[in-house]
Structure 1
Amino acid sequence: MSIKDHLLQIKSQLSEKVTLVAVSKTKPISDLMQAYEAGQRVFGENKIQEMTEKWQQMPKDIEWHMIGHVQSNKVKYMAEYVSLIHGVDSLKLLQEINKQAVKHNRVINCLLQMHIAEEETKFGLDEKELEVILHFVQNDKNGMTNIKVVGLMGMATFTDNQEQIKKEFQSLKTIFDKYKSLNTTNCQLNTLSTGMSGDYQLAIECGSTMVRIGSSIFGNRN
């Protein structure tokens, strides 16, 4: 099956409420263009330099999502164009995104990454840290006018245990539901990003509105 066939097959299983992020990291532009020509407009990358090179060369109606771990000193390289940053896991990083967005007169959408897995290696906030950040963002005195927190993101434990994965997805949905009534200019939680190639159907069952799918579209990573 071609990239187009894989993409259309996956899209046919998704409701209109679920956004598909085609995870295109390590893939050549020719592969991305096959997906683009099949109608895909949202692509996810985990390295800012690679994403920037693709942004420069590809059509400008694409939404570029940064899905990898972000170092504060690299934000400036994507602030001009990035549509959504998935893995915001500290106030310091959020402040840097705001600072760089100001320079480009943009508002950059962000997801706050929650730590839901039982693995220490995964990044993310606990609920107390989440509350502190949301409180800070909503206080006008702090000048966070060029970012918008639009939702939460989480990655489940890398395991075959479906019950554990389900429990982790559900715990994130519970936190999401608790805060989704927030409605300030720069804080409106409407996106819940969980689920990848191996578990996206379970994630959607548990309330995910955005899934990140790579290998099921493009084949295994290069």
Structure 2
Amino acid sequence: MQKTEISQNLEKVKATFPNPDCLLVAVSKTKPNTAIQQAYDAGIRDFGENKVQEITDKAAQLPKDIKWHMIGHLQRNKVKFIVPFIHLIHSVDSLRLLKQINKEAEKVGKTISCLLQVYIANEETKFGWDKEELNSFLLGEEINTMNNIQIVGLMGMATNTTDEAVIRGEFKTLKDLFDNLKKLPLPKNVEMKEISMGMSSDYLLAQQEGSTMVRIGSAIFGSRNYN
């Protein structure tokens, strides 16, 4: 079978991975179903989207064994639309959002896997928990009342810069926090096993600093079309 440009891109990207066990989440936002199908045919099963409407439309039309990852900022009033099929929500950036996910998951009798998004970048446009509120929440009582969520790790986005020292330092900050949390007596619905950091521009640095999951879009699908 002739290789498509997308399958060739996937091979090139994977060949550069410092950690072959790191999960590649193909970021398919703004991309048509035909492009996603090509990546699927090349063996990819994990796809990331950042808009609820787009992810629900695609999930209804594409193969049912795709694992959909919500990686964009998620509004609480839209949680109910993705809860029935979502594999992992990377972008849980507040306690209010986590409560809403738990509430909607309870309605449909599911347990939803979540990553807590930590604020590590030097940019006001990024979202997330800070170290202090994360520690107090994970060691507090409220987490024990959330029976329909499973926190499986942390997610972070580095500053949008070409300064590798800044990016590496921010990834190291997240990894250090992750390692420290692993040592704590965490509740039964919290397990620090995944750390989602790294995109097309910085996934090599992210893997070198301990990422278990990278979110790669343009290096696979080409530049995005926002029209």
TM bucket, shorter chain: over 0.9
Aligned pairs for 1:44-123 (under 5 A) are 44-123=48-127
User: Which residue identity lines up with residue 149 of structure 2 in the other structure?
Assistant: I
- 2:139 counterpart SS class: helix
Partner in structure 1 of residue 153 of structure 2: 151
Structure 1 length-normalised TM: 0.95
Aligned pairs for 1:123-134 (under 5 A) are 123-134=127-138
Shift of 1:185: 2.8
Aligned pairs for 1:179-218 (under 5 A) are 179-181=181-183, 182=185, 184-218=187-221
Task: Choose the corresponding residue for 1:27, options 31, 37, 57.
Answer: 31
Shift of 1:221: 0.3
* Structure 2 unmatched runs, 5+: none
Deviations 1:129-164 (A, max 9, x none): 111321347753xx2111011000110110111101
Alpha-carbon RMSD across the aligned residues, in angstroms, is 1.4
Q: Is the 8 A contact 1:65 1:86 kept in 2?
A: yes
Q: Is the 8 A contact 2:152 2:192 kept in 1?
A: yes
Distance in 1 (alpha carbons) for counterparts of 2:58 and 2:143: 36
User: Which residue identity lines up with residue 178 of structure 1 in the other structure?
Assistant: N
Deviations 1:82-101 (A, max 9, x none): 01111111111001001111
Task: Choose the corresponding residue for 1:11, options 14, 17, 20.
Answer: 14
- Structure 1 pair 137–51 and aligned structure 2 pair: CA distance change class (3 A): farther
Identity, % of aligned positions? 53
User: Which residue identity lines up with residue 78 of structure 1 in the other structure?
Assistant: I
Q: Is the 8 A contact 1:20 1:42 kept in 2?
A: yes
Shift of 1:120: 1.2
- Structure 1 pair 220–134 and aligned structure 2 pair: CA distance change class (3 A): same
Shift of 1:121: 1.2
Shift of 1:10: 1.5
Shift of 1:187: 0.2
Shift of 1:13: 3.0
Q: Is the 8 A contact 2:139 2:186 kept in 1?
A: no
- 1:149 counterpart SS class: strand
User: Which residue identity lines up with residue 157 of structure 1 in the other structure?
Assistant: T
Distance in 2 (alpha carbons) for counterparts of 1:139 and 1:153: 18
Distance in 2 (alpha carbons) for counterparts of 1:199 and 1:119: 17
* Structure 1 unmatched runs, 5+: none
Partner in structure 2 of residue 168 of structure 1: 170
Structure 2 length-normalised TM: 0.93
How many residues are matched?
A: 220
- Structure 1 pair 175–57 and aligned structure 2 pair: CA distance change class (3 A): same
